[in-house]
Structure 1
Amino acid sequence: MKEIYEKNAKVFKALSDQNRLKILHILSDGERCACELLKHFDFTQPTLSHHMKVLIECGLVYSRKAGTWNHYSLIEQNTDELVKFLEEIVVLKDSK
């Protein structure tokens, strides 16, 4: 059980940045090239690479190389597990 908390703590740390939340929101519509993601932000490609590294390391995003650009997509199984974890720890008053 300790592993679940460690894994999710890493995910929550990654999600504590508004830019990374926005990246996940964009990727929720499907795979995007880094060049497409950059259009949504006012920062450089190295900064995007840093954010993507954090999201990849916590297991939410997958990267594949195509030509000179990386293409990113959500790892749906892991995002689904995160949602299930949140559902388990959040108890609604009406369900008591």
Structure 2
Amino acid sequence: MEKAREEEIELLKCVGNEIRYRILRLLEENEKYVTEIIESLNEEQTLISHHLWRLHKCGLVEKEKKGRKSYYKITDPSVHEFIEKVKELSQKNC
């Protein structure tokens, strides 16, 4: 069997964190301002900012400025497909 590529492992680590996955699930609905994400997840601003940075570094979300506020959105429709597949597999196998 072919050895897993380092990039694949890093991507799985990125989405394997509970808070980052919850952020992706929120962004699945539509783009959100950072303050909306913080309020929805009821977590500290610094923690959410760190996880948003990681998701951005992994290429899963993009940040855009609107005035003084930053909002985030999922970068690619395949991320939505991935989340749907995770939900489907978890219902079948867990």
Q: TM-score range by the shorter chain?
A: 0.7 to 0.9
Residue 25 (structure 2) pairs with residue 25 (structure 1): yes
| Percent of aligned pairs with the same amino acid | 25
**4+ long deviations beyond 3 Å:** none
Between the two proteins, the alignment pairs up a number of residues equal to 81
Q: Select the structure of larger CA radius of gyration.
A: 1
TM-score, normalised relative to structure 1: 0.72
**Partner of 1:57 in structure 2?**
57
Runs of 5+ unmatched residues, structure 1 = 87-96
- For 1:58 and 1:21, the matched residues in 2 are separated by 13
Distance 1:7 1:78 in 2: 16
TM-score, normalised to structure 2, is 0.73
- What is the rounded CA distance, in whole Å, between the counterparts of 2:59 and 2:77 in structure 1? 10
Gaps of 5+ in 2: 86-94
Structure 1 pair 21–10 and aligned structure 2 pair: CA distance change class (3 A): same
